[in-house]
Structure 1
Amino acid sequence: MNDNRQFLEKFFPIASFIAAIIGPKCEVVVHDVSDPERSIIFIENGHISGRKVGDASTDLVLKLLKAEAYREEQFIANYKASGKMGQSFRSSTFFIKNDDNELVGLMCLNIDITHMEAAAEWIQHILQGGSPLPPASIEAPQEDKQSKEYLQGNADDLLTHMIASVISKINIPVDRLSSQEKIELVRELNEQGVFLLKGGVSQVAAALAISEPTVYRYLQKLK
């Protein structure tokens, strides 16, 4: 057992405590950042997102690690996340640091607010005097649809999601992209933390229709 794991195990009872207080709609996860592909080492109420111990980091976790946001903040709170089954979450992340102030783990809370959002929209619609439409037919405001995190447990699926999200921002078929445009995509994928996962280079190469050595060459240019 490594030192990180021993240190992080102290937070397992706290995670259970929080989950017990907030209830079964609150998922609490402890991540070991030293192993992004299998970072989840403890989870309560994992049935909410479908994740389990041994699953990977999220896209937001990878981005935080790449940007080293933890150096300036102790936590980030109340951001929007989404699940692979279409759920909406209100999420928060606490940065777990060791005695040398180095990041070793994360404690993440993900509260399933899917039904609460539908109920809130229903109540607001009635208060405004509109016809009582069923909640499913009420469109959420655009800003509420923006998700900062995708709760996906499988590392390969996470990579696929992250790469597709970046490529979808452009309206040009991959086979018509210039070398410079592909470099810019690699830059953004790097900033998102895609290459912190072992399969990142191979999946990016396949998605951009280039070789793995070309991906490494582009990364070298970005340094």
Structure 2
Amino acid sequence: MPSLDTYESLQASLEPLKSLRGEQSQLESWVNESFHALEKLHGELTDWQSELARKQTELDLREDNLEKCHSEEQDLEGKIAQWKEELGQARSELQLLEEENTEQLQELEKLERRQALLEAELKVATQRTEEISATLAAERAEATEEKKQWRKEFSQMRLLLEKHCSMLASHLGESDTNTSESTLEASFETDAPSRIAALRRRAQSRRAAKKRNNQDNEEKNS
């Protein structure tokens, strides 16, 4: 039965081969699965790389924006510092203007008080001027009236003197009439002094009245 033994031995020798084929088949399945998994991982890796590139791009953009923000922040800080300096200068100028305004207001108040005093003095001076003008007008009218009175009295005196001179001239040629001369002289000596005395009394009376008026005006003004 050599053929049976040979067949069995062949079968026995083929058993490892079958086992190897099974292992090969399993290995091929594992390799295929691994290949599919590798392809899947490769796809995922590609996606990750794309996502990473996208995120890197976004990060670069953010970094650029951050640098721009830093630059703008520095510019703003510089502008803020400049604005603060200008604000300090403006406040200093405002303080100076307020001080000057206060001084000007004080000076204005002084000028207003001075103006009020000057207006009061002007009012008093105006009243005084009006009173003086009224007094001068009254004195002028009084002087005019007194002048008229004096002219009238002088005219009367002149007429009296002319009358006495005429009488004296008419009696000068009558040298033998001593009685007439005595009468003429007595008449002249009696009438002339009495009229002169009357004129003096009137003048003194007017001067006294004028003096009293002046004193009354001075008392009113004081």
TM tier, shorter chain? under 0.3
Specify which structure has the bigger relative contact order, considering alpha-carbon pairs within 8 angstroms and separated by 6 or more residues.
1
Looking at CA atoms only, which structure, 1 or 2, has the larger radius of gyration? 2
Write 1 or 2 for the structure with the bigger share of helix: 2
TM-score, reference length from structure 2? 0.21
